[in-house]
Amino acid sequence: MTNVAKAAGIDTALMRYYFGDKKNLFEAVFRRRGPFLNELRREAFEAYEAEVGEAMTLEGVIDAFIRPGLQLSITDDGWRNYDAVVGFVNSSGGELRRLMSEVFDDTSQMLLRYMRRVLPDASEEEIYWSYHFLSGSLTFSLSQTGRIDVISNGLVSSRDLGAILDRLPILFGAGIRAMCAQPQSAPKGPQT
């Protein structure tokens, strides 16, 4: 908390007075930006639906979900840092899983409803798996780990959020449609 107070230019005692401890400060930061992003996502879904009506595509739905946050992060380091926090929280369990649900479940459910509309023949199971893979990929990308920078010898950068925005809807649109088109059968491989 001392480092955060110093960066904010305030006394540590004041920060402790308002937030108590690091956990409360972390949760306050997480909760502060989430509702703003959720509202932008709602607006993006509504604008997309108003523009194309029943001609919605899976790629368009995915784009409406990811574009608001990525556009903020492309131009604002505060949002870029928040992305890394969201990536961390989404990959965590316990109390942090509760926090992720509390802040983002409403717009996640909205995404799921739009996915069902554009994939009316998909099973519920495949819709949920699709969301799982999409949200995992998105939040890993938001974490900007630098892993792809190393593997690609600098050809690709995990900080290039514009490239992610351009590619993720195409990749997941095709992948989700392919997965949902598979006949339902018993899972293959060992089950735990």
The answer on pLDDT for 189 being more than 80 is: no
Query: CA nearest 135: which of 192, 89, 78, 187?
Result: 89
CATH 3.40.50.300 fits 12-181, yes or no: no
Domain boundaries defined on the chain: 12-181
**Cβ proximity of 173 and 62 under 8 Å:** yes
The model's pTM is 0.87
The answer on pLDDT for 191 being more than 80 is: no
CA–CA dist 110, 189 (Å, integer): 32
Which of 55-69, 83-97, 128-142 has the weakest average pLDDT? 83-97
